[in-house]
Every structure is written in structure tokens, then in C-alpha cells.
Amino acid sequence: MHFLVLSHLRWNFVYQRPQHLLARCAKENRVWFWEEPEFRVGAHPRVDVRNLESNLTVIVPHLPSGLSEFESFALQRELIHHFVATNRVADPVLWYYTPMARNFTRELNSSAVVYDCMDELSAFRGAPPGLRAAEAELLSVADLVFTGGPSLYRSKRTRHPSVHCFPSSIDFQHFAQARTASQEPEDQASIPLPRLGYCGVIDERMDLELVAAIADGIPESQLVMIGPVVKISDADLPRRPNIHWLGGRKYDELPGYMSGWEVALLPFALNESTKFISPTKTPEYLAAGLRVVSTPITDVVRPYGEAELVSIASTHDEAVEAIRRHLTSRSQQAEQERLASVDAFLSRSSWQQTWEQMFALIEQALKKKESLEELSSGVGRKFAAGTIASAD
């Protein structure tokens, strides 16, 4: 089976939901991962093609800068139609992460249309004005809609007849390495203890005032902040002697960093851009054996806060208090009991299980469409035969 994936995220940006799912998809299917364009002055419209694995290919369109939105979509339409024809990508499953891709893919033939809604993109800073209309169109043609968490599910379930909730899963073995790692990355090893850590994209969703308040409220701690800075300026980042902005790191490196943290942070602001998020890093932190403090993000409060696996802090003072409480030493037995509860909870899901469930739904949708097509063609034949008979 061929999958043509339309993504607003780059494969080599941050390893998250699309990579986890599609790397597993590519083990038994052909995956073409089409990214948003890169714009350069005077660029000739073309695509760069990178074969990451035998069944996984990343395609990056290159377009000249200064185009109108209409011109950009028109060129992307030409590029993707030429690519599909040249590479014989016949009737793929069209898998959308960005509804805006409908503007240059609506004429493509497909066996099925899947919308994996991992974020409410219309609430993000810089969202294009046509995003809501594009999503409405996508929902009208999609065979299946997957959502990245319960909040998104509740938002989309009345807008499509087949919406399925698939919250952030976990590659448990990968992050559990943090529990037994014996060597830390060099740039962290020199940072004193105790360390509080965060990893992920650093953008308008982060409560930077909270980060500063934690650094000021627990001056003996060191905040290790890992991740690319996106859509905000470096000048917006709070600067303190005990805040260390290390930049982005590879997925394979993250357990090594987490092994040196005492507490992990989810310092998200409460605004429109975080209303529907379901942070992938929540189960990752827990798999790493870390105690976690989060602001009251709905999909963190339920289920992680309610299961007492994550401490929820509604104010800066509550966050400082919760972190101090976690920094207090506990008995070995209490820690073993905590980890046992974490492991039992995380055992209920994995990215592999999530992918298998998604793929089963896709197969069901394909069979349903085939049955309807056979029924329709059968009715057509009977109608034609009846017309001929009556004419005789």
C-alpha cells in the first residue's frame, strides 16, 4: 500500500507523532512524506528527494520566494502531480497533517483520505487565514479522522462520522534507558545539581514567565531547556544564571539528558494554542522515570494528573512548591511503588499498538469503499439491463 503524507512539520525537525507512526507504517508499506516548501530567491521550482529507508522517502519542494499563495499552490500542484506520475504512486492513501495541502492535492486520485489531526493549527501563531476553510473541506472528503488527544476528539467528533481518538503514545524502551544511563552528555555534565528539565519545541505555547519564576523561586536548581526556538525570538527567553538554553537535540540523545534530571517540566501557557494539545513528552518523561510538574493542560490533567502520575500546578507558586516537594528525597520503597504505577499505566499503549489500530481502521475503510463501489456498479448494470429489456 502507498501512503502520500502531506505535512506541515519537517521530518528532521523534532521526532514526534508523524515520525513514530510513519516509520512503523513504512515497515510494510511505501511512504512518501511531502513537506511544506522551502522558499529561496530565484529558486527554480523543483523537489529534493531523500530516501531515508527502503520504503520511506521525504520530498521537499523548492519554490522562488515572493509568490502569492495562489501561485505557491499552483506550483505545488504541478510538482506533486508530476512526482506522483513519474514515481507511479497509484491511488495512494492521502494522509494529511495540514489541511492547507488540500489546495494542491484535491485532484489527486486516492484509495482513501485520512486526516491525522495532531494539533488545532488554526489556534497557532501565524496560522494562514484559509486554514479553517481548508479543514472544513478536508473533513468533508476524509474517510477517517484521527485526533492526537481527547480534547481534539471532543472538538472534532461532531464534524465527521468516523473520528477516532489516538492520544500520544510511548516508545517505552527508548526512554526507559534514562533510568539506567551511566554517562551524561558533555554539555549537561558540567551543569550542577539539582536539575529540572524540559525537552520539546520552545514557542508561543510556553509560559516563559513561569520558567523565570521557577528559576527565581528555586535558585539552587538548574533548568535545562532543550529544543528549537520557533516563532518567538531568542530575546524573549528569560535569562538567568541557572537557566540553560541548549537548543535542539536528536531523539536518540534525549534519554541521556533525562537521566541527569530530578524533575521534568511541562511549563505550558494556558491560551488558545494550548487548549487542545496532548503533549507527547508527558509519557516520555514518565517512561524515563522522572517526576513531572505541569500546568493544568486538559489532556495532562486527565488522565495523568487524575492518576497522580503528574503534579498539576495552576500558579507559579504552586509549581515552585510542587518541584520542591519532588526534590525532597523519598524512600526507595516509595520510589519503587511510584515507578510500578507509572509502568502499569504506560503498558496500556505504545506507538506500535497505536499504528496497528490505525491501520486496521484504514483497511476497514478500504473494504467498505470497495463494497460500496461493487454495489453501485451492480445496481448500474441492473439498471442498464432493465433499460435495454424495456426498450425491446
pTM, 2 dp: 0.89
Going from N- to C-terminal start, the domains of the chain cover 2-165, 172-340
Cell of 236: 524573549
Mean pLDDT of 349-363: 96
pLDDT tens by residue, 245-258: 999 999 999 999 99
Do 131 and 150 contact (CB within 8 A), yes or no?
A: no
pLDDT tens by residue, 205-244: 999 999 999 999 999 999 999 999 998 999 999 999 999 9
In CATH, which superfamily holds the domain spanning 172-340?
Glycogen Phosphorylase B; (3.40.50.2000)
**pLDDT over threshold 70, residue 372:** yes
Assigned CATH class of 2-165? alpha beta
pLDDT attached to residue 366: 95
Mean pLDDT of 96-118: 97
Residue 282: other Cβ atoms inside 10 A: 24
pLDDT attached to residue 375: 75
d(CA 63, CA 50): 17
The reply to whether domains 2-165 and 172-340 share a CATH topology is: yes
Give me the long-range contacts of 294-299 (CB less than 8 A, separation at least 24). Answer: 294/265, 294/266, 294/267, 294/268, 295/207, 295/210, 295/266, 295/267, 295/268, 295/269, 295/270, 295/319, 296/270, 297/266, 297/268, 297/270, 298/150, 298/151, 299/149, 299/150, 299/151, 299/167
Confidence of residue 53 (pLDDT cuts 50, 70, 90): confident
pLDDT attached to residue 384: 55
Residue 353: other Cβ atoms inside 10 A: 13
